Structure 1
Amino acid sequence: MTYLKKEIWSEYFKGYAIVDCAVRDKNIVYFCMRQNLPDKEASLMWDHDILSKQFALYLDTPDDQYGVRTLEGYNKPRLGVSREPRAQSLLVARNNDGQVSVFGGGRNQPDEFIAPGKVPMTARVKCINDYAYSVGGGRAIYKREDIGKWIKIDAGLPAVEADTAQGFNDMDAFSETDMYAVGGHGDVWHFDGKVWTQQGFPSNVQLATVTCAGDGHVYISGEGGSLWRGKLSTWERIYQGGSTILWNDVLWFDGKLWLASDYQARIWDGKQLRPITHDGQQVPIYGHMDAHDGLLVIASPEVVKAYDGKEWRTLVAPYLD
Structure 2
Amino acid sequence: MISKENWEEFFEGYYIYKCAVATKNHFYFVLLEFVEQNDTAPRKRLISIVLADDDQEILCAEYDAEYFDLARLTSVKHPEQQAVMVALDGDVAVMNSEYSGFEDSIPRGKPGSPLATSATAVASIDGYAYVVGAWRSVCRRIAPGQWETLADHSLPAPEKNKFGRANQGFNVIAGFSASDMYAGGGEGDLWHYDGERWSQCQLPTNMYIETICCAGDGCVYVGLQSGSIMKGRHLKWDLIHKGNMTLPFQDMAWLQNRVWCTSDYGIWTIENGKLIEPALSAEVRACAGNLSVGDGVMLIAGMYGATVFDGSRWTPLCSALQ
**Structure 2, gaps ≥5 residues long:** 110-114
Q: Which residue of structure 2 aligns with residue 70 of structure 1? A: 62
Q: Which residue of structure 2 aligns with residue 178 of structure 1? A: 180
**For 1:50-105, what per-residue CA distance to the aligned partner results, in whole angstroms no more than 9, with x for missing partners?**
2100011212364233111001222111111211110011111111xx11011116
Number of matched pairs = 309
1:202 corresponds to 2:204: yes
For 2:208 and 2:53, the matched residues in 1 are separated by 43
1:272 Cα deviation after fit: 2.5
TM-score for the superposition, normalised by structure 1: 0.90
1:120 Cα deviation after fit: 4.5
1:137 Cα deviation after fit: 1.8
% same residue: 31
Range 164-173 or range 214-223, more displaced = 164-173
Matched ranges for 1:100-139 at <5 A: 100-104=92-96, 106-117=98-109, 120-139=117-136
For 1:57 and 1:161, the matched residues in 2 are separated by 44
Q: Spell out structure 1 runs of 4+ moving beyond 6 A.
A: none
For 1:101 and 1:310, the matched residues in 2 are separated by 34
1:281 Cα deviation after fit: 8.0
TM-score for the superposition, normalised by structure 2: 0.90
1:222 Cα deviation after fit: 0.1
Question: Paired residue for 2:86, among 92, 106, 123?
Answer: 92
When residues 287 and 164 of structure 1 are mapped into structure 2, their CA distance, relative to the original with a 3 A threshold, is: farther
**For 1:81-138, what per-residue CA distance to the aligned partner results, in whole angstroms no more than 9, with x for missing partners?**
211110011111111xx11011116445442311155554222210000001112222
Q: Which residue of structure 2 aligns with residue 303 of structure 1? A: 305
Amino acid at match of 1:69: A
For 1:271 and 1:64, the matched residues in 2 are separated by 40
CA contact (8 A) 2:131 2:173 kept: no
Tell me, what secondary structure is at the counterpart of 2:190? strand
1:34 corresponds to 2:32: yes
Q: Which residue of structure 2 aligns with residue 140 of structure 1? A: 137
**Structure 1, gaps ≥5 residues long:** none
- Alpha-carbon RMSD: 2.0
Q: Which residue of structure 1 aligns with residue 19 of structure 2? A: 21
**For 1:12-47, what per-residue CA distance to the aligned partner results, in whole angstroms no more than 9, with x for missing partners?**
211111111011111211010111101xx231x3x4
Question: Paired residue for 2:245, among 243, 259, 276?
Answer: 243
CA contact (8 A) 2:227 2:247 kept: yes
1:263 Cα deviation after fit: 0.7
CA contact (8 A) 2:139 2:149 kept: yes
